[in-house]
Amino acid sequence: MLFGVAYYDEYMPYERLEKDIAMMKEAGINVVRIAESTWSTMEPQEGVFDFSHIDRVLNAMHKAGIKVIVGTPTYAVPTWLVRKYPDVLAITAQGPNRYGARQNMDIANTHFRQHAEQAIRKLLVHVKDHPAIIGYQVDNETKAYNTAGPEVQKQFVAYMKTKFGTLEAINKAFGLDYWSNRINSWEDFPSMVGSINASQIAEFAKFQRKLVTDYLAWQTKIVNEYKRPGQFVTQNFDLEWRGYSYGIQPDVDHFAAAKALDVAGIDIYHPTQDALTGTEIAFGGDIARSMKVDASSGKNYLVIETEAQGFPEWLPYPGQLRLQAFSHLASGANMLEYWHWHSTHNAIETYWKGLLSHDFEPNPTYDEAKTIGKDFARLSPQLVNLKKTNQVAILFSNEAQTAFNAFKFGWYSQNNYNDILRPMYDALYRMNVGVDFIDPSSQNIEQYKLLVVPALYAAPDSLLQRLNRFVKNGGHIVYTFKSGFSDQNVKVRTTPQPGLISEALGITYTQFTIPQNVSLKGDPFGVGSDNNKVKGWMELVTPTTAKVLAYYDHPVWGKYAAVTENTFGKGLATYIGCWTDGAVTEKILADAVRKANLWGAAQLLHFPLITRQGTNEQGKTVHYLFNYSAKPGQLTYPFANGRELIKGETVPKNSVLDLAPWGVKIIEEQ
Amino acid sequence: MLFGVAYYDEYMPYERLEKDIAMMKEAGINVVRIAESTWSTMEPQEGVFDFSHIDRVLNAMHKAGIKVIVGTPTYAVPTWLVRKYPDVLAITAQGPNRYGARQNMDIANTHFRQHAEQAIRKLLVHVKDHPAIIGYQVDNETKAYNTAGPEVQKQFVAYMKTKFGTLEAINKAFGLDYWSNRINSWEDFPSMVGSINASQIAEFAKFQRKLVTDYLAWQTKIVNEYKRPGQFVTQNFDLEWRGYSYGIQPDVDHFAAAKALDVAGIDIYHPTQDALTGTEIAFGGDIARSMKVDASSGKNYLVIETEAQGFPEWLPYPGQLRLQAFSHLASGANMLEYWHWHSTHNAIETYWKGLLSHDFEPNPTYDEAKTIGKDFARLSPQLVNLKKTNQVAILFSNEAQTAFNAFKFGWYSQNNYNDILRPMYDALYRMNVGVDFIDPSSQNIEQYKLLVVPALYAAPDSLLQRLNRFVKNGGHIVYTFKSGFSDQNVKVRTTPQPGLISEALGITYTQFTIPQNVSLKGDPFGVGSDNNKVKGWMELVTPTTAKVLAYYDHPVWGKYAAVTENTFGKGLATYIGCWTDGAVTEKILADAVRKANLWGAAQLLHFPLITRQGTNEQGKTVHYLFNYSAKPGQLTYPFANGRELIKGETVPKNSVLDLAPWGVKIIEEQ
Amino acid sequence: MLFGVAYYDEYMPYERLEKDIAMMKEAGINVVRIAESTWSTMEPQEGVFDFSHIDRVLNAMHKAGIKVIVGTPTYAVPTWLVRKYPDVLAITAQGPNRYGARQNMDIANTHFRQHAEQAIRKLLVHVKDHPAIIGYQVDNETKAYNTAGPEVQKQFVAYMKTKFGTLEAINKAFGLDYWSNRINSWEDFPSMVGSINASQIAEFAKFQRKLVTDYLAWQTKIVNEYKRPGQFVTQNFDLEWRGYSYGIQPDVDHFAAAKALDVAGIDIYHPTQDALTGTEIAFGGDIARSMKVDASSGKNYLVIETEAQGFPEWLPYPGQLRLQAFSHLASGANMLEYWHWHSTHNAIETYWKGLLSHDFEPNPTYDEAKTIGKDFARLSPQLVNLKKTNQVAILFSNEAQTAFNAFKFGWYSQNNYNDILRPMYDALYRMNVGVDFIDPSSQNIEQYKLLVVPALYAAPDSLLQRLNRFVKNGGHIVYTFKSGFSDQNVKVRTTPQPGLISEALGITYTQFTIPQNVSLKGDPFGVGSDNNKVKGWMELVTPTTAKVLAYYDHPVWGKYAAVTENTFGKGLATYIGCWTDGAVTEKILADAVRKANLWGAAQLLHFPLITRQGTNEQGKTVHYLFNYSAKPGQLTYPFANGRELIKGETVPKNSVLDLAPWGVKIIEEQ
């Protein structure tokens, strides 16, 4: 089990290396990540390299028995590169980027690529034989940053030519006759920055995600030329950001981009104090674990960045740092790495604090980390390489996300795809239902018993047919509104809605509206009048063969169905035709879990008592028990007899367990 | 009576023409509007024309007996035009426009004009003899789109030279010595995009409105060269947009622009469901009807666009589509045309739905349209060419609007001219007082008995003197605050306020403020304490000869008058010196209607029971009765004996009538 | 005592001079300010000068016995200058400025400087011998307006070279290794407009303030070549603007910029009506008076601009104009000048009204000014050149302000430095504690008994050591949170916090957070539960030698101190470790005033009864008594026997005095 921090010798205000390593050792830290974003230090002038910071850290860490992950430094460009080649800065819809921040470059730019390649190769040649290095991270939190300048435009037109062949095909698929947007000659192909056509916007977004996939594959290929057997290459993927890690990342196709890598990595930041729920830890972990499900590496994912003290408002309460740490393991992480060791003394992230404050003194957060390090080291054999086998999966889709977000619930709506997906994930999390993520490219869809499919707004026929077959063959799917609505080009289907999935769902609709004072008739899920309200969106569903689980309560719309369920072949398909409150969503999903025969012992517990499980290297089932509350928790242990690993006590089935506020227990079945 | 839709063969995802026409015929549709905004399809490359979509639609419609209005395609430019002549995109204060949206061009640009002219002429030459065509629409929802590039600047300077003669005159009229804005040489004339001088800003806005007038006259002149006797030219004017059609359009001088046209056209979009009041239908209709009052054509106005399903939140309740349709006729419309037939499958207006959903299937909205089509056809002889004779008019002014909006109620105020005008219109609408609109150019001001004049902020002496004469000769005017304040150049008058109209009003003031906790003393209009509050603006009015209708209630300002009334010559002039609640405004206007001896039978009804009337071609009075409510309505029919046209029942005076929720009755006096 | 107005003959809509002067004389006006911002009138074309407006005003005023202050016209540039030399418009982070507004120029631009110099010299040569002129104002409300174009960038790099010597020093001090911002060659020095490094941002802000200081010194030097003995040079400084004059001006180093001037000037705008408190008048006056404390001129400051009618919402209640006028004198002003005489008839400030409305008629505000003019003239000998000796000072710092504002309370926080400083000032004002302002450059810090130090976020060691010595030697300091946190380069200190001042404060902390549901334990200041809440920021303080005045009330943070007090040497140091409500702040400061033995007779009164005092030229103590309330006030006069100057009545100590709403009394001790 790797326990680590990001470490920047470059940023230190005075000589700290030995003292820092001593404090790291005291905290059980056994890995550091270095070099990421330090291009200007490593290559102070074009072709002039200075590896002294890297060398001294590698040597000192090696001496101390601490492993090192070396990051390529490319996610922040040096001043000289921008001065000599101003075109390395991306041109976006807002104009040319400025120097200053990270992630301002055009990742497809030739000058950027040339200099990035040279820097990576020089670095790799220099460090490749160092024994401290266990792996590499290519770039960091990579996106295409909305790059849309003339050079990118050329590449996009070439991509479109390859993909669609003719302009006629594009004009047809994208409906470009509308508002005179028709393109009649390749040389007329307009820039996408002013587009009002969601098909174009979504295709350009897909092209930008492809730039990321290609870029990471390109960096990985370079690093692979140098890496030694046993070393890995990873990336630090991140999620949609809402002041913290919230949902599916719209700008990266995580599953495609992860293909080139040996092991998946992710950063997860989340509120703490009274707002700590563990949801983002579980969510980010489930995404990251699902990235490499098809890979042969067998390696669990790495949490490459998460907060120690973090933002001032995230300073953890006593116990929370431990709770967070074990929660990461419970999702299957094999590494937990804080960003960062110390707190930076200058610049924009001064108040994004590390394990240490600016004074480098021990503090309550660091002190708590020491207990984590000790427990990780002690329990590593039982906790590392946790295998999780879930029977429920959430099907997400970057294509559906981009397409949905182009329209939302109307021109003035602020809600996006993740506002629909996350409440479904959250409901399953609160019920302690383990979840994997799949996307339209996944080969393993058929292995699940229950699929949850939020707002699959854009999808090709082939996917919808595959999902119909999944039901027919005995699977259960819960769809929300707006699924099946448009094809892969964001052209709305010309059939009655919800398109091809009508067959499995046994419903149809031709109209929809925004609910005003609409509820579900008779509070069918027993959630109380506030939670029973319908918000944001409602489809006027008519069942063909489906059974209606809920009707709308409204003088005019009351004859239409809100929630339906349909037996199709050997399976069952549920449709949620409106945006329901989280309480209703949870009831519908609980019902679906039951009907899929997946309601088990874990479901006897409920948030704030969270349990997550897996199988360890010894083939034993490990149950994590978490109390996500400031109040003490009590539960009847519902699993087979086991042993609590932290305290070493035996725990018989049905024994009553107490969990401290923000408390953790880990029970290995015997 | 024309009943129609916009129809875009170009946008169809598959061959639909015959099926669509069959469904149109079933719905009683007898007119379609085509070709508007389809330039890229019609002229795929410079000088290469393809009229196949137009031809096949014209032929098919003609065969089906459906008339066609052909739109010039110029409101959305093709990609090739922008690539070859980038200067066709307007340069605004925000920089150069981007390709993508419609209405992004510089309507004064030479290249745009050349290519627009060629496209229009080629189209007209091609279609001019087709028997299906009843008229043409030039461009669509035309504005100048804030075009302000160097070429426009040159034209503006020439316009200023012509209008003012000398810089000295401009410097004086606009007060340009302030902040060193004085212009001492024509070559120094600065761009208006950075101006902080409301006189300049208002003059530039007027110049931009003139660009629209000139542009539409120019297109009309071209079309007139080809149109046959009996064919008309129209435009689709629109209103200030607040997510729906709200108020006076600041960017177009509707009365001036309509002069070149044969018949006025308008688009009207409005909320429905529980928010449907009919106000926007009446307001937009009254504006459009008033546009061509001086024209010899005698043709009533056309509703060129209105919603069918519209935005998702506008999906009409059962009955509402009918109620809306007859409400348009009740304002004097001779055509009702939905935007649009089908719902577009791609691009930004995917969720702005037509009569048909994306599935092209019948649906409740389409089904209701069928009943409208039938009734229109059946009742057309009694309903078409309704003549309305109103004795009340609202005097609006684009000049006052632009000037007022440059200042509003202060730098941080969000309220504009329409926030003052609309509540006055709404009050009259709710009282069932029929209203025309006039503007300072109107020749027919003197024919009215009561004028309502909101915030006539900028006006020349001649207009104010004319209004004084109107009162002296026996007319009644109700002015609001801020009327008469500045001259036609937005120079504040140097006399005591409210300038020249003080004479008719018998008041004066020299100070004003923003009310904080101010009401009207003693609730003089009996509206209750909430409605009695004064908001936004108050003038400290002192009567000279006027009678005070309301004083302010405030420890310091209590000695000043808020509302006054003055007998002047044979007439009466009322002044509302502060921004009152709509309830107070309605009381003041009701009082004014009574004092003008205009209180009649229609005023026995009140919103949500709306009645509107006119004289039909048979010379009979027709009364429309509408119930703008989800609850059933009942009323005592206050007019002369008549016959209800829809059901064919006789209706004696004073009989009790029931109106269904969102119900309609049409009674022709016998 | 000077009583005046800004007068713009240039802006007059018709010939007004004689009539205006007659009305001025009637109001006791004895000074006007002219020529400021009238460049386009004075120099209509390059090198062509027209002084006719200036000449006729000078002559007419002189004839009437009214003195004149002549402003250089440079704060608004003429059209011809911008056309010929477009680079005079500043380039900011938002791009190049546009022509139209004032203050849009690059004050460091060579072309601007050349033409400004020529205009100033021509003006001065022309007017220098005119007997009406008592002084000059250089420019107006000068700032650097965020100028950041290539030319300014060059100057900044040169400044950095001079200040830091080497890039290595800059890289180290600013922590530029972070995010690859390291600068390895002077030619690579990037533009600051995209910087994310608060050290850079703060240094660039300081450089911009230096541009202002240099620019004003440069203008003053030119004017000094022409001014006669006895004439003065001043500037019209202004404050942070929040719709009115709120706090410390971040863009100008007032103390440094004032050095070149003979006398300090300021503009002060503030809410009136029910929102009039006098706080801004006192605050702005205390700042302005403190600017020239080290100067040999001995002249009190000038209020160069304040409102007469002002914004519509500021129209003064009866009595308020008088109250305001005497409040300015009570802070030590020697001149009160309204902006402006009349109300402008065009342009952006039409609703920023002068003494006269647009009608030039007498009005209640003008009428009240007449009483002020009379009293000023009558009482001038007793009121002019008031000397104030305060024992309390607020230490502010532009460096701390810029640095704090770069971070605020987090990325999403809206609160800035003045939100911390102003409540402390306000509390002292409400307690009638007289206050001076000092900044880190002040030589007179040691003369005070009590220093109040809000958020001294960035400060060099030397300043902190000086403050420690101040306490050690018997002074009392009240610091807030975030003081001492970073050095002068905004590098966070690497010692435990609060850095060097820990020694005097006897506390330490290493963590902080944003309070959620945190109060002070046991309401230690007796302010009630609402006022007892902690907001925005809290540091987890541990006392070493300090006494804890308040602990946090929170389940987790309850063990940490919120407010502490420490005896250090002969003095006392108080630390407020969290953002408290104003009520708590006032209690803490009252306690500090008492402990500093400064609680006196003035503290027997409390807002809305305000008293301010000083010594007049006769060496007598003058007490101003103000009632900042719409209700009558009553007080027991707590000072020595005196004579009320306005009414001429004697006032024995302890006599009971009545103050009218918004009333004023001025008592001279006998």
B473 contacts chain C (CB < 8 A)? no
Interface of C with A in 281-300 (CB under 8 A): none
Question: Quick check: C405 contacting A, CB < 8 Å?
Answer: no
CB pairs under 8 A between A and C: 153
pLDDT band for position A293 (cuts 50, 70, 90):
confident
Nearest Cβ partner for A180 among B77, B243, B309: B77
B203 is catalytic: no
Contact A100 C495 (CB under 8 A): no
Q: Domain C602-669, what architecture?
A: Sandwich (2.60)
Cβ atoms < 10 Å from Cβ of C24: 24
The nearest alpha carbon in chain B to C8 belongs to B178
Answer whether C407 touches A (CB < 8 Å): yes
Place of tokens 């031809």: B55
The per-residue pLDDT for C295 is: 46
Report CB contact under 8 Å: B630, A555.
Answer: yes
Q: Is A83 on the interface with C (CB under 8 A)?
A: yes
Within the 556-575 window of chain A, which residues sit less than 8 Å (CB to CB) from chain B? 556
CATH 2.60.40.1180 residue ranges in chain A? 602-669
List chain C residues with CB under 8 Å of B174: 346-347
Q: Is the pLDDT of residue B316 over 50?
A: yes
Q: Contact C347/B199, CB-based, under 8 Å?
A: yes
Q: What is the pLDDT, as a whole number, of residue C294?
A: 58
Beta-strand relationship, A245-247 and A265-268: unpaired
Q: Tokens 């890979």 belong to which residue?
A: A295
Asked if the C-beta of B182 comes within 8 angstroms of chain C's C-beta atoms, the answer is: yes
Residue ranges of the annotated binding site of C for substrate are 102, 140, 314
State how far the Cα of A539 lies from the Cα of A517, in Å rounded to an integer. Answer: 15
Q: Which of residues 346-375 of A touch C (CB under 8 A)?
A: 346-351, 357-361, 363-365
Residue B344 forms contact with A (CB below 8 Å)? yes
Give the end-to-end CA distance of chain B in Å, rounded to a whole number. Answer: 22
Band of residue A296 on the pLDDT scale cut at 50, 70, 90: very low
Contact B506, B543 (CB under 8 A): yes
**Nearest residue of B to residue A554, measured between CA atoms:** B317
CB contact under 8 A, A492 and B349: no
pLDDT at A298 over 60: no
Determine whether the interchain pair C198/A348 forms a contact, defined as Cβ–Cβ distance below 8 Å: yes
Parts of chain A belonging to CATH 3.40.50.880: 392-597
CB contact under 8 A, B410 and C11: no
Touching subunits for chain B (3+ Cβ pairs under 8 A): A, C
Instruction: Quote the pTM value.
Output: 0.96
pLDDT tens-digit map of A351-368: 999 999 999 999 999 999
Mutation for A interface: B346, B363, B368, B629, most A CBs within 10 A: B346
What tens digit of pLDDT does each residue of B567-595 get?
999 999 999 999 999 999 999 999 999 99
A275 → chain C, closest CA residue: C516
Among candidate residues C212, C225, C233, the one with its CA nearest the CA of residue C72: C233
Cis omega (within 30 of 0) on the bond before B498? Answer: yes
Average pLDDT over residues A286-304: 82
- The CB-side HSE value for B54 (13 A sphere, CA atoms) comes to 26
B535 in contact with chain C, both atoms CB, cutoff 8 A? no
B88 Cα to chain A: minimum distance (Å): 14
- C38 in contact with B at a CB cutoff of 8 Å? yes
Nearest by CB to residue A346, choosing from C491, C513, C514, is C491
Asked if the C-beta of B409 comes within 8 angstroms of chain C's C-beta atoms, the answer is: yes
Question: For residue range B475-499, what is the model confidence (pLDDT) as tens digits?
Answer: 999 999 999 999 999 999 999 999 9
Smallest CA-to-CA distance from A269 within A221, A233, A223, A307 is with A307
Q: Determine the pLDDT at residue C293.
A: 74
**Angle at which helices C198-224 and C150-164 cross, to 10°:** 100
Q: CA triplet C219, C222, C224: central angle to 5 degrees?
A: 105
Q: How far is CA A159 from the centre of its chain?
A: 27
How many whole angstroms separate alpha carbon C314 and alpha carbon C271?
6
Say if residue A661 is preceded by a cis peptide, omega within 30 of 0: no
Residue A299 is predicted with a pLDDT of 73
**What is the least distance, in Å, from the CA of A9 to any CA of chain C?**
10
**Nearest chain A alpha carbon to B360:** A494
Looking at the complex, does the CB of residue C381 fall below 8 Å from at least one CB of chain B? Answer: no
User: Residue ranges of B for the binding site for substrate?
Assistant: 102, 140, 314
* Count of other CB atoms within 10 angstroms of residue A225: 11
Strands, DSSP E only, in A457-546? 476-480, 507-508, 512-513, 519-520, 534-539, 542-543
Tokens of B411: 């730098």
Measured in residues, chain A has a length of 670
Q: Is the peptide bond before A608 cis (omega within 30 degrees of 0)?
A: yes
| Closest partner CB to B100 (pick from A196, A199, A492) | A196
Q: Is A178 on the interface with B (CB under 8 A)?
A: yes
Of C76, C79, C358, which has the smallest distance from its Cβ to B492's Cβ? C358
CATH code of the domain occupying B392-597: 3.40.50.880
Tens-place pLDDT, residues B367-384: 999 999 999 999 999 999
Interface touch C350/B183, C-beta < 8 Å: no
Residue-wise pLDDT for B144-196, tens only, equals 999 999 999 999 999 999 999 999 999 999 999 999 999 999 999 999 999 99
The alpha-carbon gap from B247 to the nearest alpha carbon of chain A, in Å, equals: 20
Distance CA A202, CA C70 (A): 62
Residues of chain C neighbouring B555 (CB-CB closer than 8 A): 630
Low-confidence ranges of chain C (pLDDT < 50): 295-297
Q: How far apart are CA C341 and CA C354, in angstroms?
A: 5
Between positions 299 and 328 of A, the ones with CB within 8 A of B are none
Cβ–Cβ of C511/A365 closer than 8 Å?
yes
B348/A196 Cβ within 8 A: yes
Q: Residue C590 and residue C433: Cα distance in Å, rounded?
A: 9
Q: Chains contacting A with at least 3 CB pairs below 8 Å?
A: B, C
Taking the Cβ of residue C513 and every Cβ of chain A, the question of whether any pair is shorter than 8 Å is answered with yes
Instruction: Give the one of B407, B514, B516 whose C-beta lies nearest to C350's C-beta.
Output: B407
Which pLDDT band holds residue B294 (cuts at 50, 70, 90)? low
User: Which residue of B41, B351, B357 is in closest CB contact with A182?
Assistant: B41
Give yes or no for A408 touching B (CB within 8 A). no
Contact status, residue B155 vs residue B192, Cβ threshold 8 Å: no
Give the separation between CA B381 and CA B384, rounded to whole angstroms: 6
| Active site amino acids of C | 141, 305
